[in-house]
Amino acid sequence: MNIGPYSVEDYMHMVKSFHGNVAPGLIIGGFMVDLARKDFPQDLLYDAISETRTCLPDAIQLLTPCTIGNGWLRVMDFGRFALSLFDKYQGEGVRVFLDSKKVEDWPEIRDWFFKLKSKKEQDANRLRDQIIEAGPEILTARRIQVEGAFLGKKGKGAVGKCPVCNEAYPIKDGPSCLACQGGSPYGKDPRDDAREGKPGLKIVTTD
């Protein structure tokens, strides 16, 4: 059995190198991508959607030209274990999902998918064997038509300098960059005030 042009073993080696471990979701994701691509002409330019941020984006990036970096892969985190490949310009494509009815026949996959067992309770080898044995049998594929608003690559548009941090940002994001609008994950570094010539403040306890 193959996943794309690779044997299952070769694919799992790729997964470990790219993802860090041979996650069950990435093995299933390989079969999902393979199933979605079966109906696509070799020369068709296509985009991809992953409906979860977990595992599936990496399977798509390993097995197709679609990556987050080149803009051909979009992650829409609906929390559903599903992906779609579709014609970049016409929107016609295939959506593949892990079918909750079909996994009922595979106890280890069912328990993993519905989180009926903790990771410690799972038999990792048996789970992997069941996934490989099941292959595409636990998947369902359906034809789809992607809406026009989701077709084509969206550019940044005009770029300006953020009045707060002085870094370049897309002007369409507002009067300042999204980070300076409160979206930054970073705490303020007190050394920034020193660099800008502002008096630093030291936090002390009431004791």
* pLDDT tens by residue, 167-179: 999 999 999 999 9
Q: Looking at the structure, do residues 77 and 94 belong to the same domain, yes or no? A: yes
**pLDDT tens per residue, range 140-196:** 999 999 998 888 777 778 999 999 999 999 999 999 999 999 989 988 765 565 555
pLDDT tens for each residue of the chain, 207 residues long: 899 899 999 999 999 999 989 999 999 999 999 999 987 877 889 999 999 999 999 999 999 999 999 999 999 999 999 999 999 999 999 999 999 999 999 999 999 999 998 988 999 999 999 999 999 999 999 999 999 888 877 777 899 999 999 999 999 999 999 999 998 998 876 556 555 555 544 544 555
CATH of residue 28: 3.30.1330.130
**The tokens 């559903």 sit on which residue?**
80
**The tokens 């069950």 sit on which residue?**
24
In a domain, 30, yes or no: yes
SS3 15: helix
> How many other CB atoms are found less than 10 A from the CB of residue 204?
6
Helices assigned H by DSSP within the chain: 8-19, 24-37, 56-63, 107-113, 124-134, 191-195
Backbone angles phi, psi at 24, to 5 degrees: -55, -40
In a domain, 49, yes or no: yes
Domain count, the chain: 2
In a domain, 85, yes or no: yes
Q: Looking at the structure, do residues 187 and 136 belong to the same domain, yes or no? A: no
d(CA 81, CA 160) in angstroms, rounded, equals 38
- Tell me which residue range forms the domain holding 8: 2-150
Q: Looking at the structure, do residues 94 and 131 belong to the same domain, yes or no? A: yes
> Among 30, 77, 86, 21, which residue's Cα sits nearest to residue 54?
77
How far CA 182 is from CA of 110, 176, 197, 205, in Å, comes to: 40, 10, 23, 27
**16 — alpha (psi -120 to 50), left (phi > 0) or beta?**
alpha
Q: Looking at the structure, do residues 130 and 34 belong to the same domain, yes or no? A: yes
In a domain, 207, yes or no: no
Backbone angles phi, psi at 18, to 5 degrees: -85, -40
- Those residues with Cβ within 8 angstroms of residue 10's Cβ, 6 or more apart along the chain or in another chain: none
pTM: predicted TM-score of the whole model, two decimal places: 0.83
In a domain, 204, yes or no: no
Q: Looking at the structure, do residues 15 and 47 belong to the same domain, yes or no? A: yes
Q: Looking at the structure, do residues 142 and 55 belong to the same domain, yes or no? A: yes
CATH of residue 176: 3.30.60.80
d(CA 81, CA 28) in angstroms, rounded, equals 10
Q: Looking at the structure, do residues 96 and 180 belong to the same domain, yes or no? A: no
Q: Looking at the structure, do residues 124 and 170 belong to the same domain, yes or no? A: no
Amino acid at 125: N
In a domain, 110, yes or no: yes
d(CA 53, CA 81) in angstroms, rounded, equals 9
In a domain, 185, yes or no: yes
Q: Looking at the structure, do residues 61 and 119 belong to the same domain, yes or no? A: yes
Q: Looking at the structure, do residues 181 and 98 belong to the same domain, yes or no? A: no
In a domain, 179, yes or no: yes
Q: Looking at the structure, do residues 143 and 189 belong to the same domain, yes or no? A: no
Q: Looking at the structure, do residues 176 and 96 belong to the same domain, yes or no? A: no
